[in-house]
Structure 1
Amino acid sequence: MSDETTNGAAAPAAPQEAAGPVFSVEKIYVKDVSFESPNSPAIFSEGGQPDLQLNLNQRVQRLNENLFEVSLRVTLTCKVGEKTAYVVEVDQAGAFAMVGLQPQAIDVLLGTQCPHILFPYARQLVSDLIQAGGFPPFLLQPINFDALYAETLRQRQQQAAASAEAGADAPAAGNA
Protein backbone atom coordinates (compact mmCIF):
# COMPACT_ATOMS: atom_id res chain seq x y z
CA MET A 1 0.00 0.00 0.00
CA SER A 2 1.26 3.51 -0.71
CA ASP A 3 2.07 6.19 1.87
CA GLU A 4 -0.89 7.96 3.37
CA THR A 5 -1.49 11.36 1.91
CA THR A 6 -2.74 14.54 3.47
CA ASN A 7 -4.39 16.97 1.09
CA GLY A 8 -2.80 15.19 -1.83
CA ALA A 9 0.76 15.37 -0.42
CA ALA A 10 2.76 12.53 1.02
CA ALA A 11 2.75 12.41 4.81
CA PRO A 12 6.01 13.59 6.31
CA ALA A 13 8.36 10.82 7.31
CA ALA A 14 8.34 9.99 10.99
CA PRO A 15 11.31 11.51 12.76
CA GLN A 16 14.11 9.00 12.99
CA GLU A 17 14.34 7.46 16.39
CA ALA A 18 17.64 7.69 18.14
CA ALA A 19 19.86 4.88 16.98
CA GLY A 20 20.03 2.02 19.43
CA PRO A 21 23.14 0.35 20.74
CA VAL A 22 25.80 -0.36 18.12
CA PHE A 23 28.45 -3.07 17.99
CA SER A 24 30.46 -3.15 14.79
CA VAL A 25 33.71 -4.53 13.43
CA GLU A 26 35.68 -1.60 12.07
CA LYS A 27 38.87 -3.40 11.03
CA ILE A 28 40.52 -6.81 11.36
CA TYR A 29 44.27 -7.01 10.92
CA VAL A 30 47.44 -8.94 11.75
CA LYS A 31 49.39 -7.04 14.39
CA ASP A 32 52.37 -9.41 14.62
CA VAL A 33 53.33 -12.80 13.20
CA SER A 34 56.33 -15.07 13.67
CA PHE A 35 57.30 -18.57 12.56
CA GLU A 36 60.50 -20.24 13.71
CA SER A 37 61.81 -23.70 12.94
CA PRO A 38 65.21 -23.65 14.68
CA ASN A 39 66.05 -27.31 14.00
CA SER A 40 65.14 -27.52 10.31
CA PRO A 41 65.86 -29.48 8.21
CA ALA A 42 67.11 -32.12 10.69
CA ILE A 43 63.79 -32.07 12.59
CA PHE A 44 61.98 -33.50 9.54
CA SER A 45 63.77 -36.83 10.01
CA GLU A 46 63.21 -37.01 13.79
CA GLY A 47 60.97 -39.81 14.98
CA GLY A 48 58.58 -39.53 17.86
CA GLN A 49 55.27 -38.06 18.81
CA PRO A 50 55.04 -34.25 18.57
CA ASP A 51 54.25 -32.44 21.81
CA LEU A 52 52.15 -29.31 21.27
CA GLN A 53 51.79 -26.48 23.75
CA LEU A 54 49.20 -23.77 23.11
CA ASN A 55 49.20 -20.40 24.81
CA LEU A 56 46.30 -18.00 24.22
CA ASN A 57 46.21 -14.41 25.47
CA GLN A 58 43.82 -11.54 24.94
CA ARG A 59 44.55 -7.85 25.33
CA VAL A 60 42.05 -5.00 25.17
CA GLN A 61 42.95 -1.37 24.62
CA ARG A 62 40.51 1.51 24.51
CA LEU A 63 41.35 3.66 21.47
CA ASN A 64 38.74 6.35 22.07
CA GLU A 65 35.34 6.73 23.73
CA ASN A 66 33.63 4.22 21.43
CA LEU A 67 36.49 2.26 19.82
CA PHE A 68 38.39 -0.69 21.27
CA GLU A 69 41.28 -2.73 19.97
CA VAL A 70 41.13 -6.40 20.89
CA SER A 71 44.23 -8.46 20.29
CA LEU A 72 44.19 -12.25 20.34
CA ARG A 73 47.70 -13.71 20.64
CA VAL A 74 48.17 -17.39 19.84
CA THR A 75 51.50 -19.08 20.50
CA LEU A 76 51.89 -22.70 19.46
CA THR A 77 55.09 -24.59 20.25
CA CYS A 78 55.75 -28.03 18.79
CA LYS A 79 58.54 -30.22 20.18
CA VAL A 80 59.70 -33.64 19.09
CA GLY A 81 61.60 -35.13 21.98
CA GLU A 82 63.75 -32.32 23.38
CA LYS A 83 64.01 -30.47 20.07
CA THR A 84 61.75 -27.64 19.02
CA ALA A 85 60.15 -28.38 15.66
CA TYR A 86 58.48 -24.97 15.37
CA VAL A 87 57.10 -22.00 17.23
CA VAL A 88 54.25 -19.99 15.73
CA GLU A 89 53.12 -16.68 17.16
CA VAL A 90 50.16 -14.84 15.72
CA ASP A 91 48.76 -11.61 17.13
CA GLN A 92 45.43 -11.13 15.38
CA ALA A 93 43.69 -7.88 16.20
CA GLY A 94 40.57 -5.96 15.45
CA ALA A 95 39.07 -2.55 16.06
CA PHE A 96 35.52 -2.73 17.39
CA ALA A 97 33.07 0.16 17.79
CA MET A 98 30.62 0.09 20.69
CA VAL A 99 28.11 2.89 21.09
CA GLY A 100 25.20 3.18 23.50
CA LEU A 101 26.07 0.10 25.53
CA GLN A 102 26.30 -0.28 29.28
CA PRO A 103 29.80 -0.95 30.68
CA GLN A 104 28.80 -4.52 31.62
CA ALA A 105 27.63 -5.21 28.05
CA ILE A 106 30.87 -3.77 26.67
CA ASP A 107 32.88 -6.01 29.00
CA VAL A 108 30.96 -9.08 27.84
CA LEU A 109 31.41 -8.21 24.15
CA LEU A 110 35.13 -7.55 24.62
CA GLY A 111 35.57 -10.84 26.48
CA THR A 112 33.44 -13.09 24.28
CA GLN A 113 32.31 -11.83 20.89
CA CYS A 114 35.45 -9.94 19.87
CA PRO A 115 37.84 -12.89 20.38
CA HIS A 116 35.23 -15.17 18.81
CA ILE A 117 35.30 -12.98 15.69
CA LEU A 118 39.13 -12.86 15.61
CA PHE A 119 39.78 -16.56 16.26
CA PRO A 120 39.06 -17.93 12.75
CA TYR A 121 41.53 -15.46 11.27
CA ALA A 122 44.22 -16.43 13.79
CA ARG A 123 43.49 -20.15 13.31
CA GLN A 124 43.87 -19.87 9.53
CA LEU A 125 47.10 -17.91 9.77
CA VAL A 126 48.61 -20.41 12.25
CA SER A 127 47.66 -23.29 9.95
CA ASP A 128 49.09 -21.57 6.85
CA LEU A 129 52.39 -20.76 8.58
CA ILE A 130 52.86 -24.32 9.85
CA GLN A 131 52.17 -25.77 6.42
CA ALA A 132 54.45 -23.22 4.73
CA GLY A 133 57.17 -24.33 7.17
CA GLY A 134 57.02 -27.85 5.73
CA PHE A 135 55.01 -29.45 8.52
CA PRO A 136 51.71 -31.31 8.29
CA PRO A 137 48.62 -29.07 8.43
CA PHE A 138 47.39 -28.22 11.91
CA LEU A 139 43.99 -26.76 12.73
CA LEU A 140 43.39 -25.24 16.15
CA GLN A 141 40.27 -26.60 17.76
CA PRO A 142 37.42 -24.17 18.53
CA ILE A 143 37.70 -22.29 21.80
CA ASN A 144 34.77 -21.55 24.08
CA PHE A 145 35.35 -17.86 24.82
CA ASP A 146 32.10 -17.72 26.82
CA ALA A 147 33.50 -20.27 29.28
CA LEU A 148 36.84 -18.43 29.45
CA TYR A 149 35.01 -15.18 30.16
CA ALA A 150 32.92 -16.85 32.88
CA GLU A 151 36.13 -18.11 34.51
CA THR A 152 37.61 -14.60 34.31
CA LEU A 153 34.52 -13.19 36.04
CA ARG A 154 34.79 -15.85 38.76
CA GLN A 155 38.46 -14.93 39.34
CA ARG A 156 37.59 -11.21 39.48
CA GLN A 157 34.92 -11.92 42.11
CA GLN A 158 37.35 -13.99 44.18
CA GLN A 159 39.96 -11.23 44.02
CA ALA A 160 37.39 -8.60 44.99
CA ALA A 161 36.24 -10.74 47.93
CA ALA A 162 39.85 -11.31 49.03
CA SER A 163 40.55 -7.57 48.79
CA ALA A 164 37.42 -6.78 50.80
CA GLU A 165 38.44 -9.28 53.50
CA ALA A 166 41.98 -7.88 53.60
CA GLY A 167 40.57 -4.36 54.00
CA ALA A 168 38.20 -5.46 56.78
CA ASP A 169 41.02 -7.21 58.66
CA ALA A 170 43.38 -4.22 58.48
CA PRO A 171 43.53 -2.14 61.69
CA ALA A 172 41.96 1.27 61.50
CA ALA A 173 44.46 4.09 61.02
CA GLY A 174 45.08 6.29 64.07
CA ASN A 175 44.04 3.65 66.61
CA ALA A 176 46.80 2.74 69.02
Structure 2
Amino acid sequence: MTEQASDAAQPQFSLQRIYVRDLSFEAPKSPEIFRQDWKPGITLDLNTRQKDLGGDFHEVVLTVSVTVKNGDDTAFIAEVQQAGIFLIKGLDNASMSHTLGAFCPSLLFPYAREALDNLVVRGSFPALMLSPVNFDALYAQELARMQGGEAQA
Protein backbone atom coordinates (compact mmCIF):
# COMPACT_ATOMS: atom_id res chain seq x y z
CA MET A 1 0.00 0.00 0.00
CA THR A 2 2.83 2.42 0.78
CA GLU A 3 4.40 1.70 -2.62
CA GLN A 4 1.21 2.79 -4.40
CA ALA A 5 0.90 5.88 -2.21
CA SER A 6 4.49 6.91 -2.90
CA ASP A 7 3.99 6.35 -6.65
CA ALA A 8 0.92 8.59 -6.62
CA ALA A 9 2.91 11.37 -4.91
CA GLN A 10 5.76 11.25 -7.44
CA PRO A 11 5.75 14.06 -10.00
CA GLN A 12 4.89 12.92 -13.51
CA PHE A 13 5.59 14.59 -16.84
CA SER A 14 4.72 13.17 -20.23
CA LEU A 15 4.56 14.73 -23.67
CA GLN A 16 1.35 13.49 -25.30
CA ARG A 17 1.32 15.32 -28.64
CA ILE A 18 3.11 18.09 -30.58
CA TYR A 19 1.28 19.88 -33.38
CA VAL A 20 1.09 23.08 -35.41
CA ARG A 21 -1.90 25.10 -34.24
CA ASP A 22 -1.51 27.94 -36.75
CA LEU A 23 0.97 28.85 -39.48
CA SER A 24 1.18 31.95 -41.66
CA PHE A 25 3.52 33.53 -44.18
CA GLU A 26 3.26 36.82 -46.04
CA ALA A 27 5.72 38.32 -48.53
CA PRO A 28 4.11 41.67 -49.37
CA LYS A 29 6.92 42.97 -51.62
CA SER A 30 7.36 39.86 -53.75
CA PRO A 31 8.63 39.61 -56.44
CA GLU A 32 10.28 43.07 -56.28
CA ILE A 33 12.13 42.19 -53.06
CA PHE A 34 14.13 39.50 -54.88
CA ARG A 35 15.73 42.12 -57.12
CA GLN A 36 17.20 44.09 -54.18
CA ASP A 37 20.52 43.60 -52.39
CA TRP A 38 19.78 41.32 -49.45
CA LYS A 39 20.62 43.03 -46.14
CA PRO A 40 17.91 41.76 -43.81
CA GLY A 41 16.94 43.08 -40.41
CA ILE A 42 15.12 40.52 -38.27
CA THR A 43 12.58 41.13 -35.49
CA LEU A 44 11.67 38.09 -33.40
CA ASP A 45 8.71 37.94 -31.01
CA LEU A 46 8.00 35.03 -28.68
CA ASN A 47 4.87 34.39 -26.68
CA THR A 48 3.52 31.46 -24.72
CA ARG A 49 0.14 30.59 -23.34
CA GLN A 50 -1.20 27.66 -21.41
CA LYS A 51 -4.61 26.08 -21.11
CA ASP A 52 -5.74 23.55 -18.53
CA LEU A 53 -7.41 20.70 -20.41
CA GLY A 54 -8.55 18.93 -17.24
CA GLY A 55 -7.38 15.65 -15.79
CA ASP A 56 -3.75 16.82 -15.41
CA PHE A 57 -3.51 17.57 -19.13
CA HIS A 58 -2.26 20.96 -20.28
CA GLU A 59 -1.91 22.60 -23.67
CA VAL A 60 1.07 24.92 -24.13
CA VAL A 61 1.23 27.10 -27.24
CA LEU A 62 4.47 28.78 -28.27
CA THR A 63 3.99 31.56 -30.81
CA VAL A 64 7.08 32.60 -32.76
CA SER A 65 6.65 35.62 -35.04
CA VAL A 66 9.40 36.83 -37.35
CA THR A 67 9.38 40.03 -39.37
CA VAL A 68 12.22 40.49 -41.84
CA LYS A 69 12.83 43.86 -43.43
CA ASN A 70 15.23 44.63 -46.23
CA GLY A 71 15.89 48.32 -45.79
CA ASP A 72 12.48 49.95 -45.34
CA ASP A 73 10.62 47.16 -47.15
CA THR A 74 9.05 44.23 -45.34
CA ALA A 75 10.45 41.15 -47.05
CA PHE A 76 8.27 38.70 -45.16
CA ILE A 77 6.33 38.02 -42.01
CA ALA A 78 6.19 34.43 -40.77
CA GLU A 79 4.46 33.07 -37.71
CA VAL A 80 3.93 29.66 -36.20
CA GLN A 81 1.90 28.60 -33.21
CA GLN A 82 3.58 25.37 -32.13
CA ALA A 83 1.55 23.54 -29.51
CA GLY A 84 1.86 20.53 -27.28
CA ILE A 85 -0.32 18.56 -24.92
CA PHE A 86 1.44 17.56 -21.73
CA LEU A 87 0.43 15.31 -18.85
CA ILE A 88 1.77 16.96 -15.70
CA LYS A 89 0.91 16.01 -12.15
CA GLY A 90 2.33 15.99 -8.67
CA LEU A 91 4.01 19.41 -8.92
CA ASP A 92 3.65 22.29 -6.49
CA ASN A 93 2.38 25.62 -7.90
CA ALA A 94 5.86 27.13 -8.44
CA SER A 95 7.16 24.02 -10.20
CA MET A 96 4.01 23.78 -12.34
CA SER A 97 4.34 27.44 -13.35
CA HIS A 98 8.00 26.95 -14.31
CA THR A 99 7.24 23.75 -16.22
CA LEU A 100 4.44 25.37 -18.23
CA GLY A 101 6.23 28.70 -18.68
CA ALA A 102 9.78 27.56 -19.47
CA PHE A 103 10.31 23.81 -19.78
CA CYS A 104 7.43 23.05 -22.17
CA PRO A 105 8.19 26.02 -24.49
CA SER A 106 11.83 24.91 -24.65
CA LEU A 107 10.63 21.51 -25.89
CA LEU A 108 8.38 23.13 -28.50
CA PHE A 109 10.91 25.66 -29.85
CA PRO A 110 12.94 23.31 -32.09
CA TYR A 111 9.72 22.26 -33.83
CA ALA A 112 8.67 25.90 -34.28
CA ARG A 113 12.12 26.80 -35.61
CA GLU A 114 11.97 23.98 -38.17
CA ALA A 115 8.45 24.94 -39.27
CA LEU A 116 9.50 28.57 -39.77
CA ASP A 117 12.64 27.64 -41.71
CA ASN A 118 10.62 25.38 -43.98
CA LEU A 119 8.03 28.10 -44.55
CA VAL A 120 10.62 30.80 -45.29
CA VAL A 121 12.56 28.59 -47.72
CA ARG A 122 9.33 27.78 -49.56
CA GLY A 123 8.89 31.55 -49.93
CA SER A 124 12.28 31.56 -51.72
CA PHE A 125 14.16 33.31 -48.89
CA PRO A 126 17.24 32.06 -47.02
CA ALA A 127 16.52 29.89 -43.97
CA LEU A 128 16.33 31.86 -40.72
CA MET A 129 18.45 29.47 -38.64
CA LEU A 130 17.11 30.98 -35.40
CA SER A 131 19.43 30.66 -32.42
CA PRO A 132 18.35 28.62 -29.42
CA VAL A 133 16.32 30.51 -26.81
CA ASN A 134 16.89 30.33 -23.05
CA PHE A 135 13.30 30.02 -21.85
CA ASP A 136 14.46 29.67 -18.23
CA ALA A 137 15.99 33.15 -18.41
CA LEU A 138 12.92 34.60 -20.13
CA TYR A 139 10.69 33.02 -17.50
CA ALA A 140 12.84 34.46 -14.69
CA GLN A 141 12.71 37.93 -16.31
CA GLU A 142 8.94 37.76 -16.63
CA LEU A 143 8.58 36.58 -13.03
CA ALA A 144 10.78 39.46 -11.83
CA ARG A 145 8.80 41.94 -13.94
CA MET A 146 5.51 40.67 -12.53
CA GLN A 147 6.80 40.78 -8.95
CA GLY A 148 8.17 44.28 -9.52
CA GLY A 149 4.77 45.38 -10.83
CA GLU A 150 3.05 43.92 -7.76
CA ALA A 151 5.49 45.69 -5.45
CA GLN A 152 4.70 49.03 -7.12
CA ALA A 153 0.91 48.48 -7.02
> What is the aligned partner in structure 2 of residue 75 from structure 1?
65
Alignment partner for residue 62 of structure 1, among 21, 42, 52? 52
Structure 2 unaligned regions, length at least 5: none
Alignment partner for residue 26 of structure 1, among 16, 25, 28? 16
> What is the aligned partner in structure 1 of residue 115 from structure 2?
125
Q: 2-side partners of 1:81 and 1:48: how far apart?
A: 9
Structure 1 unaligned regions, length at least 5: 1-13, 164-176
Question: How many pairs are equivalent?
Answer: 150
Quote how far apart the aligned CAs of 1:16 are. Answer: 4.3
Quote how far apart the aligned CAs of 1:65 are. Answer: 4.3
**Relative contact order (C-alpha < 8 Å, sep 6+): which is higher?**
2
> What is the aligned partner in structure 1 of residue 39 from structure 2?
49
User: Quick one: percent identity of the two aligned structures?
Assistant: 43
Compute the TM-score of the two structures, normalised by the length of structure 2.
0.92
Q: Which amino acid aligns with 2:33?
A: I
> What is the aligned partner in structure 1 of residue 4 from structure 2?
17
Superposed counterparts of 1:1-176, under 5 Å? 16-18=3-5, 19=7, 20-163=10-153
2:24 match: secondary structure: strand
Quote how far apart the aligned CAs of 1:89 are. Answer: 0.6
Across the aligned residues of Structure 1 and Structure 2, the Cα RMSD in angstroms comes to 1.5
Structure with larger Rg: 1
Quote how far apart the aligned CAs of 1:15 are. Answer: 7.2
Compute the TM-score of the two structures, normalised by the length of structure 1.
0.80
Quote how far apart the aligned CAs of 1:59 are. Answer: 0.9
